[in-house]
Homo-oligomer: A and B are copies of this chain.
Amino acid sequence: MKAVVISVGEELVSGACVDTNTAWLSLALAAHGVVTIRHVTVGDDVTDIATAFRQAMSDADLVVSTGGLGPTPDDLTRQGLADALRQPLEHSTEAEQQIRALFERWQRTLHESNLVQALIPHGCAVLENPRGTAPGIAHDTARCRVFVLPGVPIEMKTMYEQHIVPRLSGGGAVTLRAELRCYGMSEAELGERLADMMARNRNPLVGTTASGAVLTVRITARSCSESEALRLLDAEQAEVRRRIGQGVFGVGEEELEDALAKLLTAQGRTVATAESCTGGLLAQRLTNVPGSSAYFFGGMICYADQAKTDLLGVSVELIEVHGAVSEPVAVAMAQGCRARAGSDFAISTTGIAGPSGGRPEKPVGLVFIALASPTACEARRFLFGEHLTRCEIRDRAAKTAMNMLRLHLLRREPTGQT
């Protein structure tokens, strides 16, 4: 089964935005044995859109487009598809009902222009969009299936799962994928440990990617039978886990905060945060997890030195003697936070996120992280590197803080397995 993926948008064809939808769709389709043979990106031009659809329908069994379904005059995918099919646009009562229901649910005023989103080419079907106001469009010809989705990634992905995946069954070869997520080592180090498993044309195929210091080991297993593919995949995952150990914190799209959520919940422990350089990022990450109120008390963001004293009781003298970015202040912050919150653990961060404020003895990227537990307070010094941006340094500090707590909790686990 061959697919062509079309993306529509002036912001894409002009280069103002990098298109990530097409790559996502092609990867997703590949998991169902569909080979993408072409991506085409066109601007908000009805002729170009129509041509893209027409050529795609003549070359592929499956055509998926994203973008150009909004309510503004530059959203022309509906018209482009209608022209490609040589059909008029007509009002769909079903689409209008979906749009009206959504506005009602959101308690928002429907503008007349929103109803342009209820137009679809004659003979096409409406695809429900549970996350936005742009319904999708589906059309089947004798040899080609066409799916038209909005460009907003979350809407596109939800609709792909809901409307396209169920129609992709069948095929033959099964491709299964798994991803293991790791923290606390470099990609080169990870690559060395897995070198022999990463040979090309091997089955399963093992590859690594790095994003924001989180390393992902991607495993792809292929077989004619699903059970054999699953067996291959499971064996390979077990081998990777054996080599990486506690460096593996999760699978799929799990984040460090998800790993912490499991450990804290299982052990019935609570945590609070005292943040300086991360400025709320650590707490934000912890509370990304639904239900985090079960183990996250809250925290203090002590951006100004005064806040460290007022909110956490760090003594003025300690800050004067050692500086706000120092191990003793990190320790006092964590201990002060734990005492005030009455939690089992407290984590503190203090550092220089830059881009200015660095000095030779305390350069940009220097961060102290302390973890106060019922029995002790462990503090560590990190140098995240002056080549990183402010955003990246804060990100590394928050992740490293979560990883410190994760490793601490794992040492208390009987099995040590996340």
Contacts and interface: CB of A to CB of B under 8 A. Distances in A.
A9 B300 CA distance: 42
A107 interface: yes
Given A187-B70, A279-B284, A113 B192 contact: yes
B298 A283 contact: no
Contacts of A412: none
B311 A108 contact: no
A282 interface: yes
A101 to B, nearest CB: 11
A323 interface: no
A42 interface: yes
A387 interface: yes
Interface stretch (A19-27, A229-237, A259-267): A19-27
A91 B53 CA distance: 39
A306 to B, nearest CB: 7
A252 to B, nearest CB: 11
Interface stretch (A195-203, A240-248, A399-407): A195-203
A303 B296 contact: yes
A1 interface: no
B37 A130 contact: no
Nearest to A40: B40
Contact of A39 (B40, B133, B290, B391): B40
Interface in A58-90: 70-74
A355 interface: yes
Nearest to A209: B11
A359 interface: no
B279 A14 contact: no
Contacts of A389: 154
Given A106-B383, A210-B152, A307 B301 contact: no
Contact of A387 (B11, B40, B102, B280): B102
B303 A298 contact: yes
Nearest to A117: B188
Interface residues on A, range: 35 or more
A131 B387 contact: yes
A301 B299 contact: yes
Interface in A291-339: 291-293, 296-304, 306-307, 310-311
A36 B12 CA distance: 10
Contacts of A285: 280
Interface string A32-48: 00011111111111001
A401 to B, nearest CB: 12
A163 interface: no
Given A301-B283, A307-B298, A17 B23 contact: yes
B284 A281 contact: yes
Interface in A164-215: 177, 186-192, 195, 198-200, 205, 207-210
B288 A111 contact: no
Contacts of A341: 307, 310
A10 B207 contact: yes
A27 B15 contact: yes
A238 interface: no
